[in-house]
């Protein structure tokens, strides 16, 4: 057991040295994370949300009145999360991540 433990320490130390060597003198690129929450529109029937709300009642969570089920996407981009980046992610969400006929989305930095 001691041999395996010693080997792990040596490996961790070597990995730490390699990380320091790679980062020395190099600036990491800036990465922005934008979260896209997609939900069914209020007027659209949500059977999955209703099933979850029903299960909550059965499990003793009587204070739960209703549940709406949705999707969350985390989009990572190079560069800052400025107005241009948010506009591009909004375009992506409207064309790929959400169905604009039955879903709506919101964006925020993550």
Pairing of β 103-109 and β 70-78:
unpaired
Residue 20 lies inside a defined structural domain of this protein: no
Q: Could you tell me the residue range of the domain that residue 67 belongs to?
A: 28-109
User: Is residue 65 in some structural domain?
Assistant: yes
- What's the domain count of the chain? 1
> Is 50 within the bounds of a domain?
yes
> What would the pLDDT profile of 74-104 be if each residue is shown by its tens digit?
999 999 989 999 999 999 999 999 999 999 9
Residue 77 lies in a domain: yes
SS3 43: coil
pLDDT by 10s per residue, the chain, length 110: 344 433 444 456 666 666 666 656 667 778 999 999 999 999 999 999 999 999 999 999 999 999 999 999 999 999 998 999 999 999 999 999 999 999 999 999 98
Assess if residue 6 is contained within a domain: no
Q: Which pTM does this prediction carry?
A: 0.69
17 backbone dihedrals φ, ψ, rounded to 5°: -65, -40
Q: Domain for residue 3, yes or no?
A: no
């Amino acid at each position: 057991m001691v041999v395996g433990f010693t080997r792990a320490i040596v490996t961790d130390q070597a990995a730490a040295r390699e990380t320091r060597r790679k980062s020395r003198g190099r600036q990491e690129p800036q990465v922005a994370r934008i979260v896209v929450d997609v939900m069914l529109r209020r007027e659209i029937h949500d059977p999955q949300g209703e099933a979850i709300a029903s299960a909550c009642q059965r499990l003793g969570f009587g204070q739960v009145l209703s549940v709406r089920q949705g999707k969350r996407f985390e989009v990572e981009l190079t560069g800052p999360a400025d107005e241009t980046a948010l506009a591009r992610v909004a375009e992506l969400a409207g064309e790929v991540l959400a169905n604009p006929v039955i879903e709506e989305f919101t964006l925020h930095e993550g």
